[in-house]
Amino acid sequence: MIDRRLTYRLIGAGLMVVSAAIVLPLVLDGERPPELDMQVAVSEPPAFEVVEIAPVKSAQEIAAEEAEKAPQDIQLIPLAKSVSSSTTQPKQEVKAPVPVKKAAKVEPKKVADRWAVQIATFKSKSNATRLVEKLKKANYDAYSMTTNALYKVFVGPEFKRDTSKKIRDDIKKEFGLAGLVVKYSVN
């Protein structure tokens, strides 16, 4: 015996086919609406200049063509000669090589370590945003960072670790949140 659901589906499909057989000939009676009887005149395409593309040449062929085109009658301009009274040959001046000074290695200045207090870590961005706003209302320099799809809330940074520890203790008293003192990272 056929399942009841399958029976209902077959009956529904049959009704859809019958209704389509009745309605479609009424809708598609073959008459064209008068709005579609318009003549469209297309103008001639514009005449474009035909551009001939030169065949691809190898680098050797291009170099040979440029060598043929290069001017062959290049003349050098003579330089004025210095003549000494005792000899007719020009004097040659010998210049000593200039010693090159090596640049001293410049080491980057070390930036002092800074410390921040990590207050909490959330999966939800909205929770992190609410805590940041709550801490900012209490005059703390709070911000959040995203790492590995987690939202971490920090307060700081401070130059002294002891200052960060004091801020951590104040937040624990005021909000009941135990934080961690961590090195501040820009990322």
User: What CATH number is given for 115-183 in this structure?
Assistant: 3.30.70.1070
Rounded to whole angstroms, how far apart are CA atoms 141 and 175? Answer: 15
pLDDT tens-digit profile, the chain (187 residues): 678 889 999 999 999 999 999 888 877 877 777 777 778 788 888 888 888 888 888 888 888 887 777 666 666 777 776 655 455 555 556 566 667 677 677 776 666 678 888 888 888 888 889 888 988 888 888 888 888 888 888 888 888 888 888 888 888 888 888 888 888 777 6
**130: which 2 tokens?**
């609410």
**Peptide bond between residue 97 and the one before it cis (omega within 30 degrees of 0):** no
**11: which 2 tokens?**
């009956």
Domain assignments of the chain as residue spans, ordered by start: 115-183
In contact, 155 and 179? CB cutoff 8 Å: yes
Residue 92's Cβ-side half-sphere holds a number of Cα atoms within 13 Å equal to 3
110-151: pLDDT as tens digits: 666 788 888 888 888 888 898 889 888 888 888 888 888 888
